[in-house]
């Protein structure tokens, strides 16, 4: 995923995995991929020249359980010491000039931290301004027998990934970075959704096309998720459509709207990918039966 940008910037991109690390481990693949993706894209983004590397080192084992240290290292711009504690906060960027030069939303590391907490791990960083950075975490995981495919965990005759692909979904999210993460997750699940950047766009798209599932951010400019859902529910064919609200804070107002049926359910951001995947799978299964 990162080779083309690295090549464009003439960066070396390397990976090293200790030979004692098993080829298959049991963990949440989606979360681990997302974490490594976030760290690697930052490393490539914030490194004007030199090298980016991914290392997985063995930190011992007990029976089938391996302790591994993952690290993403770069020779980039580094992070000033007084900023190192805040980079994991939502919307923080080490330097306001970073935004102008490198773009970004300041959410990636906050999400990464949260993801790793879900796996019982903690992200750490060592960095020197002008020299480079090393983001690392340890993970304990058992050796796996063989890769578990989605189909193996689904009851026979239920939705298969190819049928899931067919769900007509709409992703409504104003924040480009959040949209990107959701899009990445969806594409990892072999799905592709139409997109809208605010509530009004969502209503306009729903007028033109019958969606079976809408993932709807709540706080958005132009028209928020509440108004958008109300207007969409009034459109023909949308009375029972699954509308999943995505929000960072679960207020009483949102709970009330789930009870009233405006939203089918709520997922708290940063949501748990596996839970969301399970729900989308169920909705796709139901929609495809109809
Ligand atoms: P974004 O990259 O969208 O700004 P992140 O949460 O991923 O948001 O990162 C927050 C900030 O941390 C970045 O804006 C940057 O200042 C700093 N940062 C993250 N990774 C690196 C890195 N590898 N090298 C230097 N600075 C970094």
> Both tokens of residue 61?
């084992």
- Residue 105 CB less than 6 A away from ligand 1: yes
Name the residue at shortest CA distance from atom 3 of ligand 1: 104
Residues in the chain: 290
Residue 93 CA to ligand 1 centre (angstroms): 6
Listed range (69-78, 88-97, 111-120, 243-252) with the worst mean pLDDT:
88-97
Distance 264 CA to ligand 1 centre (A): 35
Q: Answer yes or no: is the C-beta of 181 below 6 A from any ligand 1 atom.
A: no
- Ligand 1 atom at shortest distance from the alpha carbon of 110: 6
Q: How far apart are CA 212 and CA 167, in angstroms?
A: 7
Tokens of 163: 């049928």
Give nearest CA residue, ligand 1 atom 19: 42
Q: CATH number of the domain at 158-289, out of 2.30.30.110, 3.40.47.10, 3.40.50.1370, 3.40.50.2300?
A: 3.40.50.2300
Q: Is the CB of 72 under 6 A from ligand 1?
A: no
What pLDDT sits at residue 153? Answer: 47
d(CA 50, CA 9): 9
d(CA 220, CA 173): 7
User: How many other C-beta atoms can be found within 10 angstroms of the C-beta atom of residue 219?
Assistant: 13
In the chain, residues under CATH classification 3.30.565.10 are 3-142
Please state whether the predicted TM-score (pTM) of the whole model is above 0.85. no
Å from CA of 204 to ligand 1 middle: 35
44 close to ligand 1 (CB < 6 Angstrom): no
Task: Find out whether the beta carbon of 186 lies less than 6 Å from any atom of ligand 1.
Answer: no
Q: Where are the alpha helices (DSSP H) in the chain?
A: 3-8, 29-45, 96-102, 108-118, 150-153, 161-164, 176-188, 199-208, 225-233, 252-259, 273-289
- 96 Cβ contact list (under 8 Å, min separation 6): none
Instruction: Give the pLDDT confidence of 62-79 residue by residue, as tens digits.
Output: 988 999 999 999 999 999
Which pLDDT score is estimated for 190?
Answer: 81
Taking the centre of ligand 1 as the mean of its atom positions, its distance from the CA of residue 47, in whole angstroms, is 11
Note whether 228 and 256 are within 8 A (CB). Answer: no
Cβ–ligand 1 contact at 169 (below 6 Å): no
φ, ψ (nearest 5 deg) of residue 81: -50, -40
The pLDDT score that the predictor gives to residue 154 is 43
Q: Whose CA is nearest to atom 20 of ligand 1?
A: 42
Query: Is 159 a pocket residue for ligand 1 (Cβ < 6 Å)?
Result: no
Q: Is the pLDDT assigned to residue 288 strictly greater than 80? A: no
Q: What is the pLDDT of residues 138-172, one digit of tens each?
A: 999 999 887 555 444 444 444 445 555 678 999 99
Which atom belonging to ligand 1 lies closest to the Cα atom of 106? 8
Measured CA to CA, the distance from residue 206 to residue 170 in angstroms comes to: 8
| Distance from C-alpha of 185 to C-alpha of 188, rounded to nearest angstrom | 5
Residue range(s) in the chain whose domain bears CATH number 3.40.50.2300: 158-289
Architecture in CATH of 3-142? 2-Layer Sandwich (3.30)
Sort strands 51-62 and 65-74 into parallel, antiparallel or unpaired.
antiparallel
What is the DSSP secondary structure assignment for residue 117, as one 8-state letter? Answer: H
Q: Which two tokens stand for residue 43?
A: 């490393």
């Amino acid at each position: 995923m990162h080779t083309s940008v690295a090549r464009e910037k003439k960066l070396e991109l390397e990976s090293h995995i200790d030979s004692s690390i098993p080829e298959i481990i049991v963990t949440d693949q989606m979360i681990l991929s997302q974490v490594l993706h976030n760290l690697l894209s930052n490393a490539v983004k914030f490194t004007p020249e030199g090298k980016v590397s991914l290392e997985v080192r063995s930190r011992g084992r007990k029976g089938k359980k391996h302790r591994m240290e993952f690290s993403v290292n770069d020779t980039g711009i580094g992070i000033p010491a007084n900023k190192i504690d805040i980079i994991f906060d939502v919307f923080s960027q080490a330097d306001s000039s970073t935004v102008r030069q490198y773009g970004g939303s300041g959410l990636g590391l906050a999400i990464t931290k949260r993801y790793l907490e879900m796996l019982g791990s903690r992200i750490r960083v060592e960095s020197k301004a002008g020299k480079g950075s090393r983001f690392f975490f340890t993970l304990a995981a058992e050796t796996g027998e063989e890769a578990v495919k989605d189909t193996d965990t689904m009851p026979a005759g239920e939705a298969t990934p190819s049928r899931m692909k067919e769900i007509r979904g709409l992703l409504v999210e104003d924040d480009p970075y959040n949209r990107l993460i959701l899009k990445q997750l969806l594409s990892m699940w072999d799905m592709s959704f139409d997109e809208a950047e605010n509530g009004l766009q969502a209503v306009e798209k729903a007028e033109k096309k019958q969606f079976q599932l809408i993932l709807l951010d709540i706080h958005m400019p132009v028209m928020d998720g509440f108004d958008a859902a109300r207007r969409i529910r009034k459109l023909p064919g949308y009375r029972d459509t699954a509308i999943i609200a995505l929000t960072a804070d679960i207020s009483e107002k949102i709970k009330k709207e789930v009870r009233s049926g405006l939203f089918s359910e709520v997922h708290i951001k940063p949501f748990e990918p596996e839970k969301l995947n399970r729900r989308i799978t169920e909705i796709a299964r139901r929609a495809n039966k109809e």
